[in-house]
Amino acid sequence: MRFAVAERDAVLAEAVGEVLAKRCGPELIRAGWPGGRVAQVDALWRTLAGVGMPAALVPEAAGGLGLDENALAPLMETLGRAGPPVPAAETVAVGAPLLAAAGAPQLAAVLGGSSLVAVARQEGAPVPFAARAALIVVRAGDGLRLYERGEVRAEPVASVDGSRASALVSAPAGGGLLLAEGPEALAAAWRRGVLATSALLVGLGARMLELTVAHVRERRQFGVPVGSFQAVKHALADVEVALRFARPAVLAAGWAQAAGDAEAAVRTSMAKVLASDAARLAARTALQCHGAIGYTTQYPLHLYAKRAWALAADWGGPAHHRELVAGWLGLTGPTGHGSGTDLGEGMHG
């Protein structure tokens, strides 16, 4: 089966890409780190909301664009390539559709770009962007509940990617607005989050490859460009191949989710494995090919590499998703999600 991006999905990704090309460079990403001018990031998000990004998966009747999961792959890959420090997967793929389905009054603020959504996927684990997001989705028993920022306790914690503004979240029992309930609703929300994160990783990998190719064309040793060395060529070719394998897997996962295919869960896990491995390979290769400059915080490579490392482990790391695929193939026994409190519990059922 061959996968391609439909025109309606490509239009949104292109519109978002045009905004990001003009306004999202390394300095904008740095603005999301501690001590940065986060107001610049918020202004960019409002601009992206103006072209309809948070509304992608929201039904037209609720003020959205009415697109499906097929739109996530090109949209999130575009965001990943640019690297804005925002909870894109959480807000666009998980939060906005849940708020729309529940008829939540906070939806208008999300679609307008004035509110970001964070998602607490596992009890006791750091929640990316919970220190900044106005709305936080929390798993409560067999359901998902929405809390305003002031209704929860959020204790900031350090992260390898400082722009993720992570925090430990404590929510009051029985509070919040019920957004969804039941194993199927939880699994669907989880799969969308995994899909979006996979596409972000493909975009990040592509961005690091672009930076590295540009560097080895300019950097010279022994009187010739570093990129002319066979070892460098082969290393970068390996990254390109990994990304080319990951990209169609992400598209396939989006198609499976949108079509309600019986293999949507396993396709989504396969996409996360391939995208995570490709992005981590891109980061490792980029650092090796850049040499010492690649390890400095002044050079922008670390902004993308640290994001890739964080996202590769987010929404289930490669080992976790390999285990799910192995279970689906009958190679292992049924697997769970650690303590059983993860948002994705039941995904593989």
Strand pairing of 224-225 and 220-221? antiparallel
Strands 117-120 and 135-140, by their bridges, are: parallel
Which range among 29-33, 220-224, 265-269, 332-336 shows the weakest confidence by mean pLDDT?
332-336
pLDDT given at position 226: 84
Does a structural domain hold residue 141? no
Bridging pattern class, strands 153-156 and 167-170: antiparallel
Q: Examine the pLDDT at 349 and tell me if it is beyond 80.
A: no
Mean pLDDT within 175-191: 96
Structure tokens at 14: 């292109």
Show the DSSP H helices in 107-150 as ranges: 107-112
Q: pLDDT tier at 154 (50, 70, 90 boundaries)? A: very high
Q: Is 304 within a domain? A: yes
Domain membership flag for residue 208: yes
Predicted confidence band of residue 347 (pLDDT cuts 50, 70, 90): very low
* Residue-wise pLDDT tens digits, 196-210: 999 999 999 999 999
293-334 confidence digits (pLDDT tens): 998 999 999 999 999 999 999 999 999 999 999 999 999 755
Question: Which residues span the domain enclosing 284?
Answer: 184-328
- Asked if 192 and 93 touch (Cβ cutoff 8 Å), the reply is yes
Q: Would 243 be classed as within a structural domain?
A: yes
Q: Is residue 102 part of a domain?
A: no
> What would the two tokens of residue 161 be?
């990617």
Q: How does pLDDT run across 59-105, given as a tens digit for each residue?
A: 999 999 999 999 999 999 999 999 999 999 999 999 999 999 999 99
Q: What is the pTM of this model?
A: 0.94
pLDDT tier at 280, thresholds 50, 70, 90: very high
Strands 117-120 and 220-221: unpaired
Q: What is the pLDDT of residue 340?
A: 38
- CA 105/CA 347 separation, integer angstroms: 28
**Residue 49 CB contacts under 8 Å (≥ 6 apart), including other chains:** 55, 111, 112, 113
Give a yes or no: residue 18 inside a domain.
Answer: no
* pLDDT value at 341 more than 60: no
Give the integer Cα–Cα distance in Å for 191 and 322: 15
Residues 71, 56: Cα–Cα separation, whole Å: 7
Could you tell me which residue, 338 or 231, shows the higher pLDDT? 231
SS3 135: strand
How many structural domains compose the chain?
1
Best CA proximity match to 2, nearest among 286, 255, 301: 255
pLDDT value of position 101:
97
Rounded CA gap, 47 and 68, in Å? 22
Contact 70, 258 (CB under 8 A): yes
Nearest to 92 by CA among 45, 54, 147, 126: 54
Report the pLDDT value the prediction gives residue 16, as an integer from 0 to 100.
97
Q: Which helix (H) or strand (E) holds 89?
A: none
In a domain, 38, yes or no: no
Compute the mean pLDDT over every residue in the chain, rounded to the nearest whole number.
Answer: 93
CATH of residue 227: 1.20.140.10
Q: How far apart are CA 157 and CA 170, in angstroms?
A: 13
Residue 46 lies in a domain: no
